[in-house]
Amino acid sequence: MERRHKIALYPGDGIGQEVVAEAVRVLHRLEVRDRGLHLELTELPWGASYWQKTGRVVPEGFLGELRRFDAILLGAVGWPATIPDHITLDPLKRIRQTFDQYACVRPAKLPRGVRCPLVGKNPGDIDLVVVRENSEGEYVDSGGRFRVGEPEEFALQTGIHTRRGVERVLRFGFDLARKRRKRLAMATKSNAQRYGYVLWDEILEELRPQYPDVDSRREHADAMLMNLVRRPESFDVIVASNLFGDLLTDLSSLIAGGLGLAPSANLSPERRAPSLFEPVHGSAPDIAGKGIANPIAAIAAAALMLDWLGEASAAQAIHNAIDSALAAGCATPDLGGRLTTREMSDEVVSRLA
């Protein structure tokens, strides 16, 4: 039986275009391997180049265009030399919020063959997932700047935390922990922010009795960052607000081998809209066009996408191929190797044969 999925490719800017091209090669190889799998890939030419032609990063009705797809595979956005970051990132924020992609899931697992920057930590010591609340918190545009240019100028930026938003992302984290090692840690800062994060604390306490099989706790965000370095093996599933999740995922990716290996899933758990999958490394203008970007994060993001679409076997095949290549010492410059972007993906594709 043929299984068809409509995928929007949004390569974006910089190395995003390079790594998405390699992820597409892997997806095509899977279609050859599995004759029942058919992926309808549509590339969207949005980003900095679109800006130069039209004065916009994306077209007027871009959300309506994206809604007709089953999933979105993003490369990276941003070209600071030409466009301010808040402009290039705005479509991404609008996608997350309009499609209610409230669960940003970022796994961090140290692979065999990759050196950990933490002394004495080995594969098996770092295997965690950060679930970042993705729809509200500190990244909702609530506030403004006042008396601009005057000595008394001030900016007001308000974090929005709702009971509905906090509860649903915590439930998502608890459910994920049940499928893993049944441990959950929530990031808070209720010692300093007495309204928003006291709400987080209270909702965690309300939910804990409903998940008696999960060992749950809360940690102040600064202590959690420290403990990710001191004892990363103590973490399984971490749930955090939008801002804290942003910080925690960068650190967890680093200790698991680097941003070049780190995929991300922006999920709409109720599946009322497409979910978005991406590497977390950004557009990296300093190495764009040099052919040395690590494609593994984008390839792993494609695997997360397939798993979300119900193609668990194909997703696992990609993960196995990635693990095999890294264990064999295949590495791009960010991992201390000399392989080009294409050569690295060649190693993954060959292991899918």
Q: Taking every pair of C-alpha atoms in the chain, what is the biggest distance, in angstroms?
A: 68
> What is the C-alpha to C-alpha distance for residues 57 and 77, in angstroms, rounded to an integer?
10
> What is the C-alpha to C-alpha distance for residues 43 and 56, in angstroms, rounded to an integer?
17
Options 246, 307, 323, 334, the catalytic residue:
246
The answer to whether 9 and 302 have CB atoms below 8 angstroms apart is: no
H helix and E strand count, the chain? 11, 12
Options 100, 125, 250, 346, the catalytic residue:
250
Q: How many C-beta atoms surround the C-beta of residue 6 within 10 A?
A: 15
Strand spans (E) along 170-321: 183-188, 215-220, 237-240, 263-267, 275-279
The answer to whether 253 and 194 have CB atoms below 8 angstroms apart is: no
Q: Decide if 139 is catalytic.
A: yes
The answer to whether 15 and 283 have CB atoms below 8 angstroms apart is: yes
Q: Decide if 246 is catalytic.
A: yes
DSSP label at residue 178: H
> What is the C-alpha to C-alpha distance for residues 296 and 279, in angstroms, rounded to an integer?
8
Tokens standing for residue 277: 């999958």
Q: Work out the angle at residue 66's Cα, subtended by the Cα atoms of residues 44 and 55, and round it to the nearest 5 degrees.
A: 55
HSE-CB of 188 using CA atoms within 13 angstroms: 23
Q: Decide if 189 is catalytic.
A: yes
The residues near 142 (Cβ < 8 Å, ≥ 6 apart) are 157, 158, 159, 160
> What is the C-alpha to C-alpha distance for residues 134 and 140, in angstroms, rounded to an integer?
10
Options 102, 109, 189, 236, the catalytic residue:
189
Options 50, 102, 139, 197, the catalytic residue:
139
What is the amino acid identity at position 280?
V
Options 70, 125, 201, 222, the catalytic residue:
222
Active site residues: 139, 189, 222, 246, 250
